[in-house]
């Protein structure tokens, strides 16, 4: 059996959803990557199964129909709930205009892979063959034995892009971040990705540093180098964020951090994750008590990742699903 997947961009989605396919080896099938955007009969003719990442446009729908005309099997892979993108997201207009195409794409897939249970629930009316394959820590590129240990170095971090504007500017969040940074002048706060001048203009101490966005692998390397002992990730409680996966959790814990997030969201209900609302109070504790709490939470999170979210283990599920297509 021959499988083909299309890799058109270099984003976190490709890193977490497509790159893992490169590590799967089997005598029963081969997997080929294509960067071809002009998909024709000839492009897919020699393959049995075609994998599309986030098929959510008329162009995707045309390609899937082309595959169906040639009796190919289709797998659609989604790491976000493309049917519930909020108006505050920079991609809202695109996804909203293509919503009916997205639904048709989901319905036409022979199998759908999703990163979270919430995406599965959102798509369940359109496809009955949906399987959860969570995002995972790539222990080939970033080996377990290279993980940074927890160090109480008073370094804190946030990372994200423009899609998080509403999360940061939600009522009370930006104010809380400003207080967090201003009230802890002995801490260093690194901000990776999107810039939020509303926060920066109100800071009183030279303990805040901004780094522009980077690729996922570069994020990993930067975070690993900074080795924060704390990572915080504000997310609003919305339908779209309910589907959010655990990328920053994987990246920050591997770098040695304890994780703070919105524990009302399903993927934030993992061992060691503390609700962000508790952070300001915890920061008032004596250093020895805070260090003990952060270290304990970090270790609980890393234990969970090792047991459940290493790519070498998650790829066994991918292998199992792909073997279902072998004739």
Together in a domain, 255 and 151: yes
pTM of the predicted protein model: 0.95
Collapsing DSSP to helix, strand or coil, 31 comes out as: strand
Please report which confidence band the pLDDT of residue 8 belongs to, taking 50, 70 and 90 as the band edges.
confident
For residues 33 and 22, the answer to whether their CB atoms sit within 8 Å is yes
Is residue 52 situated within a structural domain? yes
Structure token pair of residue 293: 């709490």
Banded pLDDT at 290 (limits 50, 70, 90) = very high
pLDDT(9) > 90:
no
Same-domain pairing of 152 and 284: yes
Residue 49 domain boundaries: 2-134+311-323
Q: Are residues 80 and 185 in the same domain?
A: no
The CATH number that applies at residue 180 is 3.40.50.2000
Q: Is residue 128 part of a domain?
A: yes
Which pLDDT band, with edges at 50, 70 and 90, does 11 fall under?
confident
Same domain, 219 and 81: no
Evaluated on CA atoms 252, 250, 32, 24, the torsion sign reads: positive
**How confident is the model at residue 150, as a pLDDT?**
97
CB 76 within 8 A of CB 29: no
Place of tokens 């709490």: 293
Q: What is the mean pLDDT of the chain?
A: 94
Residue 139 counted as domain residue: no
- Closest to 7 measured CA to CA, from 20, 319, 140: 20
Q: pLDDT over 70 for what percent of the chain?
A: 100
Please say if the pLDDT value at position 163 is more than 90: no
pLDDT at 211 over 90: no
Tokens of 171: 């009522």
* Structure-block tokens of residue 320: 């199992």
- Looking at residue 10, its pLDDT comes to 72
State whether 149 and 249 are in the same domain.
yes
Residue ranges of the alpha helices (H) in 83-132?
92-97, 99-108, 117-123
- Give the separation between CA 297 and CA 303, rounded to whole angstroms: 10
Token output for 283 = 């920061």
The most confident of the ranges 11-25, 147-161, 292-306 is 292-306
**Whether residue 295 has pLDDT greater than 90:** yes
**Sign of the four-CA dihedral 16, 17, 22, 28:** positive
pLDDT for 327 beyond 80: no
At residue 40, the pLDDT reads 93
Q: Is residue 228 part of a domain?
A: yes
Count of domains observed in the chain: 2
Question: Is residue 82 situated within a structural domain?
Answer: yes
Query: In sequence order, which residues have a C-beta less than 8 Å from that of residue 27 and are 6 or more positions away?
Result: none
Angle at 80 between CA 158 and CA 118, to 5 degrees: 105
Q: What 3-state DSSP class applies to 136?
A: coil
Instruction: Kindly indicate the confidence band of residue 315, based on its pLDDT and cuts at 50, 70 and 90.
Output: very high
Q: Are 257 and 230 in contact (CB under 8 A)?
A: yes
């Amino acid at each position: 059996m021959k499988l083909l997947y299309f890799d058109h961009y270099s984003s976190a989605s490709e890193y977490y959803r497509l790159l893992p396919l490169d590590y799967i080896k089997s005598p029963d099938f081969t997997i080929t990557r294509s960067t071809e955007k002009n998909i024709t009969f000839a492009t897919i003719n020699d393959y049995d199964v075609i994998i599309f990442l986030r098929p959510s446009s008329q162009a995707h729908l045309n390609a899937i129909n082309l595959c169906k005309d040639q009796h190919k099997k289709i797998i659609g892979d989604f790491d976000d709930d493309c049917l519930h993108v909020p108006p505050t997201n920079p991609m809202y207009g695109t996804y909203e205009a293509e919503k009916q195409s997205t639904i048709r794409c989901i319905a036409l897939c022979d199998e759908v892979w999703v990163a979270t249970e919430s995406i599965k629930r959102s798509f369940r009316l359109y496809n009955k063959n949906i399987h959860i394959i969570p995002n995972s820590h790539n222990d080939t590129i970033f080996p377990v034995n290279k993980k940074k240990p927890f160090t109480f170095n008073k370094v804190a971090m946030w990372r994200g892009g423009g899609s998080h504007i509403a999360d940061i500017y939600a009522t009370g969040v930006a104010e809380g971040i400003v207080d967090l940074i201003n009230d802890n002048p002995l801490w260093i706060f690194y901000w990776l990705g999107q810039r939020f001048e509303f926060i920066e203009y109100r800071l009183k101490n030279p303990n805040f540093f901004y780094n522009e966005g980077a690729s996922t692998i570069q994020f990993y390397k930067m975070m690993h180098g900074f080795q924060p002992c704390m990572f915080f990730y504000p997310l609003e409680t919305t339908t779209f964020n309910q589907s959010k996966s655990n990328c920053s959790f994987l990246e920050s814990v591997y770098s040695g951090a304890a994780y703070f997030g919105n524990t009302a969201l399903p993927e934030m209900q993992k061992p060691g994750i503390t609700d962000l609302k508790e952070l300001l109070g915890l920061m008032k504790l004596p250093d020895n008590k805070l260090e003990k709490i952060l270290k304990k939470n970090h270790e609980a999170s890393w234990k969970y990742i090792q047991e459940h979210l290493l790519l070498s283990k998650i790829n066994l599920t991918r292998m199992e699903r792909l073997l279902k297509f072998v004739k």
